[in-house]
Amino acid sequence: MNEGWARRVSDVAVLTGRSLVHIRREPLQLSDVTVQPVLFTLLFVYVFGAGIVLPGGGSYTAFGIAGLLALNLTTSSMGTAAGLSTDLNGGVVDRFRTLPMWPPAVLVGRTLADLLTAVLCCLIVAATGYVIGWHPETGIASTLAGFGVFLLFSYALTWGCACLGVVSKGVESAQGIGLLILFPLSFVSNALVATAHMPTILRVIADWNPVSAVTAAARELFGNPNPSSMSPAWPMQHPVAASLLWSVTLLAIFAPLAAHLYRRRTTD
């Protein structure tokens, strides 16, 4: 590794550590990946699970955990937008610009810190699910692959939220717009309910929703009930390939776009 790349890696590591230090000093920042996953898991499993019969049978607990992972990881990615908006509008980035550092390290460091919080979210949802009766039916390699699919998708989403954070004029607007985008993305999907009985238009949208692809892929890899496999839509017939394609596409679009928007905003 040449000196230039070594400096970039060092800058990213420092800024990733900075985000983690902020979390250590204010642990409530992690409520969306610690407390929220536990509450959502218990509420949705016991409330939804009491009234939903899955097509083809199966336990709602086994069905729901993958969907709850998708829901929590998707909504918690708004933290990237809020964090970047705070730094940009609070003058912190102006101070960074006076330092001899790689400018995109601000973006990369933030997204990597949020990837680590996504790992924590996965662990908490999995542990809560295990306590209430969920467990994978496949081997450890397939189970880890299921979590890996989620983490890759979560990382891709953080870059989309980074774009939102860069263009927002305040934290409130970043969070408000993020909610308008991410909540429909989360709920018009197969995450919490089977799509078979949805109205036709919603079912088509749900079957092609990237959240549905990732959730179906995880259910397949976990060996859990996956009613979406009965849908003829290509993403539901090939969920692992579809989820990887979605994640790579989102990264390819939003990572360069975030860097461009950040460079434009921070250039005099």
- Listed in sequence order, the residues at least 6 apart from 5 whose beta carbon sits closer than 8 Å to its beta carbon are none
* Residue 1 in this model has a pLDDT that exceeds 60: no
What is the average pLDDT score of the chain?
Answer: 89
The pLDDT value recorded for residue 2 is: 65
pTM of the model: 0.92
pLDDT band for position 22 (cuts 50, 70, 90): confident
pLDDT band for position 29 (cuts 50, 70, 90): low
User: Could you tell me the sign of the dihedral formed by the alpha carbons of 71, 73, 77, 83, in that order?
Assistant: positive
pLDDT band for position 6 (cuts 50, 70, 90): confident
What are the residue ranges spanned by the domains of the chain? 3-265
Report the candidate in 115, 162, 156 with the shortest Cα–Cα distance to residue 262.
162
The pLDDT value recorded for residue 175 is: 84
pLDDT in tens, 189-242: 999 999 988 999 999 999 999 999 999 999 999 999 999 999 999 999 999 999
- Listed in sequence order, the residues at least 6 apart from 210 whose beta carbon sits closer than 8 Å to its beta carbon are 153, 185, 242, 243, 246, 247, 250
Most distant pair of Cα atoms in the chain: their distance? 61
Average pLDDT over residues 114-140: 93
Q: Which structure tokens are listed for 229? A: 């496999």
Per the CB < 8 A criterion, the answer to whether 181 and 175 are in contact is: no
The pLDDT value recorded for residue 191 is: 93
The pLDDT value recorded for residue 3 is: 64
Kindly state the percentage of the chain with pLDDT values over 70: 97
* Residue 51 in this model has a pLDDT that exceeds 80: no
Average pLDDT over residues 147-162: 96
Q: Which structure tokens are listed for 104? A: 């995109």
Average pLDDT over residues 43-63: 84
* Residue 27 in this model has a pLDDT that exceeds 80: no
- 5 burial level (CB within 10 Å; 0-12, 13-18, 19+): exposed
pLDDT in tens, 73-124: 998 888 889 888 888 887 787 788 777 888 889 999 999 999 999 999 999 9
Does an H or E element contain 137, and which? none
The pLDDT value recorded for residue 28 is: 66
Per the CB < 8 A criterion, the answer to whether 254 and 162 are in contact is: yes
- Backbone φ and ψ for 49, nearest 5 degrees, come out as -60, -25
pLDDT band for position 21 (cuts 50, 70, 90): confident
pLDDT band for position 268 (cuts 50, 70, 90): low
The C-alpha atoms of residue 13 and residue 101 are separated, in whole angstroms, by: 12
The pLDDT value recorded for residue 208 is: 96
pLDDT band for position 171 (cuts 50, 70, 90): confident
Least confident segment among 6-15, 44-53, 228-237, 257-266: 44-53
